[in-house]
Amino acid sequence: MALGFFKSVRGQAGQAQADVPAPVPCDARPERTAVLCDIEELGVGMFWATDADDRLTFLSQRALEDLGQDGESLIGKPITQTFRDIDNEPGAPTQRSLSFKLKARSKLEEQIVAFEGGRGTTRWWRLNGRPLLDATGAFLGYRGSAVDISGQYFYETQIARQSQVDELTGLANRRKLNERLTATLAAFRATKRSCALMMLDLDRFKQVNDTMGHPAGDELLKQVAQRLTAIVKDRGEVGRLGGDEFQILLPDMDDRGILSDLANRIVQSVSQPYQVSGRRAIIGTSVGIAIAPYDGIDTDELTSAADMALYSAKGINGGTFCFFTTELRDEASRTAVLGDRLRDAVDRDDLTLAYQPLVDPITNEVKCFEALLRWHDAEQGVISPAQFIPIAENDDLIVKIGDMALRQACFDAMAWPDTIKVAVNVSAKQFVRAGFRNTIAAALEVSGLSPSRLELEITESVFVGDLETVDAIFRDLKKLGVRLALDDFGTGYSSLGYLKHGHFDKLKIDQSFVRGCTENGDTNPAIITAIVALAKALGMETVAEGVEAMDELDLVKQRGADLVQGYIYSQALPQEEVLAQVSNGAMKFTPNGPPRHRSDRISIFRKVGLIHEDHYYQVILRNLSKSGARISGLAGVPVGTDVVLDLGHGQLVVSKVVNASESSQGLQFETTLISDGGGGFMTRNRISPYSLAEAGIPLAALGAGAFPLAKWRAANKTAPRFLQLDIGI
């Protein structure tokens, strides 16, 4: 057919009528036409045209052959329906969309487009074209040429894809994630939008790699990638940074309640068992979360913040999530110093043991003492185990500390009545270390303690890894004759599968299910009942941990808990006080505590802001719970006053004064706070730093207590109603 297949489009509302010229041999055409025929037959180019409505009116024969289509299927269609843009493809060049250029009547220069053919085939063309105008300047359509670049383009995009995609999992790799995060943050700064970043690494993955082999480790990483992708879906992009580290980018997300739920789902999903190479394995994950613009406004800042939050989450023994706070920067520095001091303390045998009783709630008799580590530093005083145990876990000091605690506890228990057992906590690193059974046997032999009086308290984290190896260790310990207790049951990497092999003699109900179990509408009583029933069915004892109030004690007794542990009976006692109790003849503790549970409160001593009317005051935050707080530093604040508590970093809490003394006030929050994943509380939402900056405070100046009420301070429309006291910090 002469110079390809031609159709002219006439009529209105897109209705096309075709004039198809009769075939004319190329050599019968005028000279110019013959030249174009020769060019096309030589494969030098292809030609196309549109009308004023951007519908295809012409495709040369070679073009149709290249696309594998006939004219009936393409001529008359909008060119933007025939060809698509390639902006989302890896390695695609940056270019304006075809529709944008057509609408602007711009020249098309090296415009790359794709055509989806039959059976999933794709062709890529490079278009050149220019708008055609008549003598009056009216737009007639486009005339242009095309070159098929499919082979070259496919090769280049494959190379680009390999540079941006993790080969093992198919997820975005570190390079692509950094590019995407940088581009997203830059665009979002201009539009004042938010973006969350999650950093994850897998807990105990190395153990699977070491015991089951690298192919099994690779298969496990693929399954983790699938689970993460299934959870995140189209809300963000999941990528693998390398090794066992993953990252999730979540544009337009800053609600920390939603992020908490998502992070918790990720932890729970990743912690479920895997089938790898015909064997069963369990790992876990920890998650660090940072949010732009609150925690950083560029890639390095936000990534560093998420990393610090991840480190904090792992310090809480893993299997949890943590949000970034500016305090974590200071904490990282303090942790490094504390780690050095801890190593020195271990070398000097400065760590000691204290013993907390596990009591029969019916008779109030002690049945067991749990050995708890204590550290009194010469300079810093008493240092909480919550601070130094995570440091020891990360530094492998925990093995040395654990062995010391085991030996000392066995010796101390020999001075107690034979009816009282001693419980010793065992870290996952101790448990899986070669020779752990021999360490237990040696401690029993040297001390003379009967194996039946030693209980090893093990958390669910020991099940992370190769379960066959774990089962073998359990069998060895049971042959030795020691008792096994599963600590903190119901948290972390919970699975009923742990219990079916019958290794455990005791289940300890985590205190998170006990605290607040008497509040109206709380579901924890049902959970406690279910755990007790499960334990009884399997022939195991149950211990309710963390009981502090009389109403909690009554509830766990009614639900059938065999033993109770908590301040309602006693805090942990040094060996001297335990021996004093022994000398009295009766190992009984009388319950003593408040009649009712109060909401969890965190003791705090830091400066925050309080807003009332058009004034900003400095106060001391003394304690904080989900529903209220105690502050001091103001006088003359009447009960019933509405205020706004500024917790820093845009965290504003609408509150009401519900009780007051001369210099201290109790606040009740209008909206409850949520858990920050690390044992603290936070607001669900924050005031954006962009809003703070608009109020006259530069982003760089934002810090704890900062709030954009410079206009309030400057205007001072009314006299302060409260007296600001000297708060001294």
Residue 501 half-sphere exposure toward CB, CA atoms < 13 A? 16
Q: Residue 32 phi/psi, 5° resolution?
A: -60, -40
Distance, in Å, from the CA atom of 325 to the CA atom of 313, rounded to the nearest integer, reads 12
Q: Is residue 589 part of a domain?
A: no
537 with 476, same domain: the answer is yes
Round to whole Å and give the CA distance between 505 and 202: 30
- Relative to beta strand 139-148, strand 122-133 is antiparallel
- Rounded distance between C-alpha atoms, residue 281 and residue 258, angstroms: 29
Polymer length in residues for the chain: 729
Report pLDDT for 21: 39
Strands 652-660 and 642-646: antiparallel
Query: Residue 39, Cα to own-chain centre: how many angstroms?
Result: 60
Question: How many beta carbons lie within 10 A of that of residue 252, not counting itself?
Answer: 13
Structure tokens at 729: 């910090």
Same domain assignment for residues 172 and 319 = yes
d(CA 502, CA 483): 12
657, 639 in Cβ contact below 8 A? yes
> Which domain-ending residue is among 528, 556, 583?
583
Q: Looking at the structure, do residues 484 and 555 belong to the same domain, yes or no?
A: yes
In a domain, 631, yes or no: yes
Q: Which residue has the tokens 């209220």?
A: 628
Q: What is the pLDDT of residue 496?
A: 63
Q: Does 312 share its domain with 349?
A: no
Q: How far apart are CA 206 and CA 165, in angstroms?
A: 23
Q: Which amino acid is at 536?
A: K
**75 is a domain residue:** yes
Give the total number of structural domains in the chain.
4
Q: Which of 129, 86, 131, 139 is nearest to 109 (CA)?
A: 129
DSSP states along 609-671: EEEETTEEEEEEEEEEESSEEEEESEE---TT-EEEEE-STT-EEEEEEEEE-SSEEEEEESS
Q: Within this chain, do residues 399 and 528 fall inside the same structural domain, yes or no?
A: yes
CA separation for the pair 126, 131 (Å, rounded): 17
Q: Clarify whether residues 310 and 369 are in a common domain.
A: no
Q: Are residues 449 and 547 in the same domain?
A: yes
CA neighbours closer than 13 Å in the CB half-sphere of residue 96: 12
Cα distance between residue 698 and residue 129, in whole Å: 49
> Last residue of a domain, which of 157, 184, 205?
157
What pLDDT, on a 0 to 100 scale, did the predictor assign at position 449?
96
For the chain, the C-alpha Rg in angstroms (whole number) is 35
Residue 36 pLDDT = 66
* Positive or negative torsion for Cα 470, 474, 475, 477: positive
Token readout for 500 is 């079916």
- H-only helix segments in 9-149: 31-41, 61-67, 71-74, 79-82, 98-104
Alpha-carbon gap, residue 709 to 165, rounded angstroms:
46
How many Å apart are CA 360 and CA 363, to the nearest integer? 6
Residue 278 placed within a domain: yes
Q: What is the pLDDT of residue 701?
A: 34
Q: Give the domain CATH number at 76.
A: 3.30.450.20
**DSSP line for 475-486:** HHHHHHT-EEEE
Alpha carbon distance 216, 204 (integer Å): 14
Q: Number of C-alpha atoms within 13 angstroms, CB side, residue 429? A: 16
Helix/strand/coil (H, E, C) string of 207-263?
A: HHHHHHCHHHHHHHHHHHHHHHHHHHHHHCEEEEEECCEEEEEEECCCCHHHHHHHH
Residue 594 domain-assigned (yes or no): no
User: Which secondary structure element, helix H or strand E, spans residue 381, and what is its range?
Assistant: strand 381-383
> How far is 665 from 717, CA to CA, in rounded Å?
25
> Hey, what are 179's tokens?
């590019």
CA distance 169 to 220: 10
CA distance 25 to 537: 92
DSSP lists the bridge partners of residue 133 as: 139
Helix, strand or coil, per DSSP, at residue 128: strand
Mean pLDDT for each consecutive 10-residue tract of the chain (729 residues)? 31 36 45 65 78 92 82 86 80 82 92 82 91 92 92 78 81 89 88 92 84 88 95 93 94 91 91 86 91 90 92 78 82 75 89 96 95 88 84 83 95 94 92 89 95 92 73 90 86 60 85 77 82 90 92 92 94 93 82 77 74 84 90 91 85 90 90 79 78 48 38 53 79
Beta strands in 445-552 (DSSP E): 454-459, 465-466, 483-489, 506-509, 541-544
Question: Which pLDDT value is given to residue 176?
Answer: 87
Query: Which residue stretches of 348-480 are H helix?
Result: 385-394, 397-413, 428-432, 436-447, 467-480
The structure tokens 């029933």 sit at: 533
**Which H, E and C letters describe 575-618, residue by residue?**
HHHHHHHHHCCCCECCCCCCCCCCCCEEEEEEEEEEEECCEEEE
Residue 476 lies in a domain: yes
In a shared domain, residues 338 and 367 = yes
Residue type, 311: Y
Q: Which one, of 27, 110, 252, 711, lies nearest residue 36 by Cα?
A: 27
The 3-state DSSP class for residue 456 equals strand
Beta strands in 177-323 (DSSP E): 195-203, 237-242, 245-251, 274-276, 279-282, 284-292, 321-323
Domain identity same for 150 and 189 = no
Alpha-carbon span 453 to 420, nearest angstrom = 7
Report the pLDDT value the prediction gives residue 562, as an integer from 0 to 100: 96
Tokens 């029993």 sit on residue:
444
- Other CB atoms within a 10 A radius of the CB of residue 200 amount to 28
Domain end (from 125, 157, 189): 157
Q: Strand runs (DSSP E) across 139-232, as ranges?
A: 139-148, 195-203
Q: DSSP 3-state assignment of 311?
A: helix
CATH number at residue 179: 3.30.70.270
Residue 593 located in a structural domain: no
Neighbour tally for 199: CB within 10 Å: 25
Residues 300 and 344 in one domain: no
Predicted confidence at residue 596, as pLDDT, reads 80
Element (H, E) at 153: helix 150-164
Alpha helices in 42-149, H assignment, sequence order:
61-67, 71-74, 79-82, 98-104
Identify the domain containing residue 637 by its residue range. 601-724
Do residue 517 and residue 399 come from a single domain? yes
Residues 431, 544 within the same domain: yes
DSSP 27: G
Is residue 358 assigned to a domain? yes
Region label for 606, one of left (φ > 0), alpha (ψ between -120 and 50) or beta (otherwise): beta
Beta carbons within 10 angstroms of residue 324's beta carbon: 27
